[in-house]
Amino acid sequence: MKQIEKLMDYRESVRVVDATLRDGGLVNDFFFTDEFVKALYATNIKAGVDYMEFGYRASREMFDVNEFGKWKFSTDDDIYSIVGDNDTDLKIAIMADVGRCDYKEDIHNASESPVDLVRVATYLHQIPSAIQMIEDAKNKGYEVSCNIMAISTAQEIDIKAALEMICKSPVDVLYIVDSYGSIYPEALARLVTVYSEAADKYGKKLGIHAHNNQALAFANTIEAVGDGVDYLDATYFGMGRGAGNCQIEPLLGLLRNPKYSVYPTLKFNQDFMVPLKDSGVVWGYDLQYLVTGLLNQHPRTAIEFTKNKRTDYAKYYTDMLGMD
Amino acid sequence: MKQIEKLMDYRESVRVVDATLRDGGLVNDFFFTDEFVKALYATNIKAGVDYMEFGYRASREMFDVNEFGKWKFSTDDDIYSIVGDNDTDLKIAIMADVGRCDYKEDIHNASESPVDLVRVATYLHQIPSAIQMIEDAKNKGYEVSCNIMAISTAQEIDIKAALEMICKSPVDVLYIVDSYGSIYPEALARLVTVYSEAADKYGKKLGIHAHNNQALAFANTIEAVGDGVDYLDATYFGMGRGAGNCQIEPLLGLLRNPKYSVYPTLKFNQDFMVPLKDSGVVWGYDLQYLVTGLLNQHPRTAIEFTKNKRTDYAKYYTDMLGMD
């Protein structure tokens, strides 16, 4: 059992990262209004959130700029148009996917960019490419994190080898990512132990990015922060791909650092997130996402199920079992 | 950290209790169709659920039988009409509230009843009355559990005194009840330690009944079962008062006892729970319930907020703070 004092006190090193635009953008193709994004920025400042992730910096060669909202690409100019010179305590983040970002050209020097943190997202088989991106971003003057995705289908020995490689890079933060929302708190605690061994050896920090397929995103985030993980991803009203992410409202309610405030998150949810949901944008715990979580699968078939407005959950489950 | 083996193996003594009719009945005044209840009964049998709670056995003198569906009263005859002689492994439960049940007259001998388990629900200040009800039910031949409600606002020394009293009664199972959905997993683990001390001393079993105000109902149930709690309350699609309960679908997905099966729960949800929700019956994680959970309050004002179709969550929060 963890010390109960941890629920009463706080750790100065904890950081809350709002990933609403980026992970939430996956369910509305990044079509957020400027009014929404400006209000989100103002809310994050008031709520004491530490980082606001704007979106992907995706390749404009690989992806059609007409098919997506601008936060799929999150150019420095578009971010500047929201944050100005960002004379606040809120830091700005973007995500850069290995193989889907022209980082050499599109990520400029930090001194000429509103961005503070570049989050490199990679699969296990792309680690050398991720390390090149980490080095590039670090040389340009950014804080850099690395999110290794889909680790719930990986062998521990491969994860350890990847961590050893990445830890030798100049990365600042290593993220534990439960891409499929399939990890139980006890299993997460074990993963934290594995990541901590590498992180402690090389002086890196840890982060957690949880999905809600089994209604455990917040619970796994609590588990992680109790185990010493500092960077906590969350989104407003849990908006995110499929079943969504850790909800930022209860997370700020849990953390005892006086800088965090729940009220602004409720106001923003009231004014923007609830209307967004009412307008037909779909995310959150549902049975099709539970199925992919239980089966430790990518949510893509569940997303398709949702898109087609299917409700034959039981048949979907047996179809998924049949593909095993 | 708990042993990871616990996620791979199972404990024979674990029991899953479906509380859909009883806790779910609180959001539709117990108006379930017979078709619904018969299908739920059949589903529980197929899914390997251990107990099905039918509803309250509320006093027909105190409550108007015209204002509620029949599962507010759950007479033996009404239960017989669903389960016949119940020649199955599924046991039948009802709940009897201290002060709201004419138990001397309305709870008959177990030999003349379809009910196996009487669940006595009590507040801390009603323990002597609860003990009388426990003794009455035990003398009539039932298994008996006791749910002490609203413990998150109680002092530990009072809980310990209550446990000592109840443990001297012939009760079989003591339930840890997070009525307000305000307890974090770490705090729950500490409560389990307190309850276990009393339970072990007197040879009683433990149960958990969690609410989802902070999106932690399933997580707290996982915490409890990992700490040795055997009786696990859950409901289909999480239906229950306010933010609802632990969802039975992921719970059966977690438990490794081969008798449990997820498929029937998905089929029932598809055929009955999703249509019920679509028909306008409201439950589940929402911001007003998060507020009462965060503030460790009874959800009654949040239920009122929901009933009035209010969406001014931020004002509701400041109003609640103002009442502190």
Best residue of B256, B262, B286, B320 to probe chain A, by most A CBs closer than 10 Å: B262
- pLDDT at A324 (0 to 100): 66
Is A290's CB within 8 Å of B222's CB? no
* Residue of B287, B289, B292, B296 to mutate for A, most A C-beta atoms under 10 A: B287
Q: Are A245 and A234 in contact (CB under 8 A)?
A: yes
pLDDT, average across residues B168-184: 97
Please give the span between the terminal C-alpha atoms of chain B, in angstroms, as a whole number: 36
Q: Taking a C-beta distance cutoff of 8 angstroms, is the pair B110, B116 a contact?
A: yes
Q: How far apart are CA A304 and CA A310, in angstroms?
A: 9
Which token pair is B218? 């399933």
pLDDT band at B2 (very low <50, low <70, confident <90, very high): low
Angle at B154 between CA B148 and CA B159, to 5 degrees: 55
Contact at CB, B263 and A291, closer than 8 angstroms? no
Distance from CA of B172 to the nearest CA of A (A): 26
pLDDT tens-digit series, residues A208-244: 999 999 999 999 999 999 999 999 999 999 999 999 9
Instruction: Note the pLDDT of residue B322.
Output: 84
Question: Which of A1, A237, A291 minimises the CB distance to B186?
Answer: A1
Cβ atoms of B238 and B281 within 8 Å: the answer is no
User: Could you give the CA distance from residue A211 to residue A240 in angstroms, rounded to a whole number?
Assistant: 8
CA A61/CA A86 separation, integer angstroms: 29
DSSP state of B277: H
Q: Do A294 and B266 touch (CB under 8 A)?
A: no
pTM: 0.94
d(CA B288, CA B265) in angstroms, rounded, equals 28
- Minimal CA separation from A183 to chain B, in Å: 11
Using alpha carbons, select from A322, A192, B106 the residue that is nearest to residue B118.
B106
List the end-to-end C-alpha distance of chain A, in Å, as a whole number. Answer: 36
Q: Which residues of B136-155 are buried (b: 16+ CB within 10 A; e: fewer)?
A: bbbebebbbbbbbbbbbebe
Q: Which pLDDT score, from 0 to 100, does residue A50 have? A: 98
Q: What is the pLDDT of residues A108-167, one digit of tens each?
A: 999 999 999 999 999 999 999 999 999 999 999 999 999 999 999 999 999 999 999 999
pLDDT of residue B161: 97
Query: What residues in B contact A291, CB-CB < 8 Å?
Result: 266
Residue B228 neighbours by CB distance under 10 Å = 17
The ipTM estimated for the assembled molecules is: 0.91
8 A C-beta contact, residue A215 and residue B221: no
Per-residue pLDDT band for A77 (boundaries 50, 70, 90) equals very high
Q: Which residue of B has its CA nearest to A193?
A: B1
Contact A222 B217 (CB under 8 A): no
Band (B76; pLDDT cuts 50, 70, 90): very high
pLDDT higher than threshold 90 for residue B246: yes
| Chain A positions in Cβ-Cβ contact with residue B263 (cut-off 8 Å) | 314, 317-318
Question: CA of A283, closest CA in chain B: separation in Å?
Answer: 13
Q: Flag whether pLDDT at B231 surpasses 70.
A: yes
- Kindly determine whether residue B185 and residue A4, on different chains, have CB atoms separated by under 8 Å: no
Å from A69 to nearest chain B CA?
Answer: 28
For residue A4, the model assigns a pLDDT of 67
The pLDDT of A49-63, averaged and rounded, is 97
CB burial of residue A160 (10 Å; 0-12, 13-18, 19+) = middle
pLDDT of amino acid B8: 86
How far apart (Å, rounded) are the C-alpha atoms in residues B225 and B106? 33
